[in-house]
Amino acid sequence: MLFKLRDASFCLVVALSMMRDSEIHEIRRGAVVQHYNAPAIASTLVKGRSGRPGKHWWITEPVAEAIAVAEALSVRHERVFAPLKRPRSTETVHSSQMIDSFIETVNDDRAWTGLAEIPAGRARPHMFRHAMAMLTDQFPGSEIALGLQLKHVAARALANRSTQAYAAADTRWAELLETALDAVRFRRFKELYGSHKDGEPIGYGPGAERVKDAFDEVTATVQAKNGDSRMEEDLLRKLRITIRFGMLNNCLFDQANPVGAVCLENATVPKGHNGPLEYRCRPDRCRNSMIGVEHVAIHDAHRRTQLKPLETRRLPAPRKDLIRREIERVDAILAQVPEEKA
């Protein structure tokens, strides 16, 4: 059982940290620290660097917990992922063995865990690293963050071909990736519907009104046909609404009807590009924009942050004009939110 716990902890760290195999094996006791006020792993960068410099990899709470479990198991060793027998034992710890053992354990215990079977195939640490990079790349502005987490060195993070290569979709499983992303989007879309049905606000702006109208149609249809939750889910899947969940707003850009998308106005669209141009997003005036409840506090904080520099004496006039224009944009966004919610 101890071996299974160690193998499971290793797989979780490999899957979610984007660390190289060698970097994970360099993790030692007390490696979970605070780095720029966020939890991180302190380890050693091995590849491509002389001197083996110490680096930090940001992590989430489940990864920190997995390392704590591995520490508790590896009581006789300084390294977290080490043999569980006595220090001078000939037992070795290979990443491939731990991953294969974990997969075998999951498949053998499906009768009582209820988990789906992990398909046969080769799984190795660099594949997890690549997969997480591809998933992260789905979010706007992710390339710089990816370059920092993957520890790809470049004069400019955006010019680093290594990062782009890691985030580039692999044709062998691109379809599976898209299916997984669609499942996540639909789950969040379904949660929005549940909140709307319970009378809770789901967002503001023209995009939000389109979503609310669509949800009302689903509710009315289900009630008219005396349907159940299964019918609700089927109707939600059939809605002609494309939603992209973002950090500052949600985008309802429809590739089949892009009219009104502000991000495409007077823009040069790259060859082969489909969808909105996220870097030109204007949630203050686009009809596809939906300001979610979770976005209001972000925009309000941004407005207060912009107001502070205006108090600075002798601030150059061009700088003041730029700040005021930014405040006007934020005011236009917050104007879409009822006063009691702002």
Take residue 187 and report the two structure tokens written for it. 């789950």
Alpha-carbon torsion 138, 142, 148, 154, what sign?
positive
Least confident of 113-117, 155-159, 258-262, 305-309: 155-159
Query: CA–CA separation, 81 vs 168, rounded Å?
Result: 30
User: What is the reported pLDDT for 47?
Assistant: 60
Residue 52's pLDDT band, with cuts at 50, 70 and 90, is low
Residue 202's pLDDT band, with cuts at 50, 70 and 90, is very high
Domain residue ranges of the chain, discontinuous segments joined by +: 2-113
Residues 216-262: pLDDT tens digits? 999 999 999 998 888 998 999 888 888 998 888 999 998 888 888 99
For the segment(s) 2-113, the CATH number from 1.10.645.10, 1.10.443.10, 1.10.3720.10, 3.40.640.10 is 1.10.443.10
User: What is the reported pLDDT for 144?
Assistant: 47
Rounded to two decimals, the pTM is: 0.51
Residues 145-191: pLDDT tens digits? 555 555 544 333 344 444 555 555 555 555 555 565 677 788 889 99
In order, the DSSP letters of 289-335 are EEB-HHHHHHHHHHHHHHHHHHTSTT--HHHHHHHHHHHHHHHHHHT
Beta bridge partners of 55: 43
